[in-house]
Amino acid sequence: MLKKTGIILLMAMMSGFCVSAQKADAILGQWANPNRQDHILIYKRGNKYFGKLDWIKVPNDEQGKPKTDKNNPDKALQSRPDLGLELLKDFTFDGEKVYEDGTIYDPKSGKTYSCKMTLDGNNLKIRGYVVFSLFGRSEVWTRVK
């Protein structure tokens, strides 16, 4: 009887872990920024979430060459292509619908900000900030179907 109870408890715990992982992984996929000029692919590495620039409406500059990370303060990184650039790093899931403790890189300014993301169905609220969430900027990304 005790062995049977232990097995049932173990199965219930494993079921809970699977549901939690499925809930956390709901963020995975491709997201469009508000002006729909860029798509960001959110993926998982280990137990953290990352996002990279996966599609750009206008991928090339005026000379027909791929756009690069020209505003990066690190001169050595300014020649890397925008396409494939990792914008979101190191997010963890809080168990509900918030992904936190990550950073977001803004290639237009070359700056990296603290960030949290809140998933609401097919909308993803992005909040980038410096020190406190009160001092920042928000935008909503939509899931690409």
Q: What is the pLDDT of residues 23-40, one digit of tens each?
A: 899 999 999 999 999 999
Evaluate whether residue 10 is within a structural domain. Answer: no
Evaluate whether residue 60 is within a structural domain. Answer: yes
- Provide the pLDDT for residue 10: 47
Q: What is the pLDDT of residues 37-50, one digit of tens each?
A: 999 999 999 999 99
Evaluate whether residue 90 is within a structural domain. Answer: yes
Q: What is the pLDDT of residues 68-110, one digit of tens each?
A: 999 999 999 999 999 999 999 999 999 889 999 999 999 999 9
pLDDT at 19 over 70: no
DSSP state of 132: S
Evaluate whether residue 9 is within a structural domain. Answer: no
**Average pLDDT, integer, range 117-142:** 93
Evaluate whether residue 14 is within a structural domain. Answer: no
pLDDT at 17 over 50: no
**Average pLDDT, integer, range 47-73:** 96
Is beta strand 86-93 parallel, antiparallel or unpaired with respect to 48-56? antiparallel
Evaluate whether residue 18 is within a structural domain. Answer: no
Count of domains for the chain: 1
Q: Dihedral sign, CA of 135, 67, 31, 104? A: negative
CATH number for the domain harbouring residue 68: 2.40.128.520
Evaluate whether residue 17 is within a structural domain. Answer: no
**Domain of 34, in residue numbers:** 27-143
Evaluate whether residue 7 is within a structural domain. Answer: no
**pTM score, two decimals?**
0.83
- Provide the pLDDT for residue 18: 45
Give 126-135's long-range contacts (Cβ < 8 A, gap of 24+): 128/104
Asked if residue 129 lies in contact with residue 136, where contact means CB atoms within 8 angstroms, the answer is yes
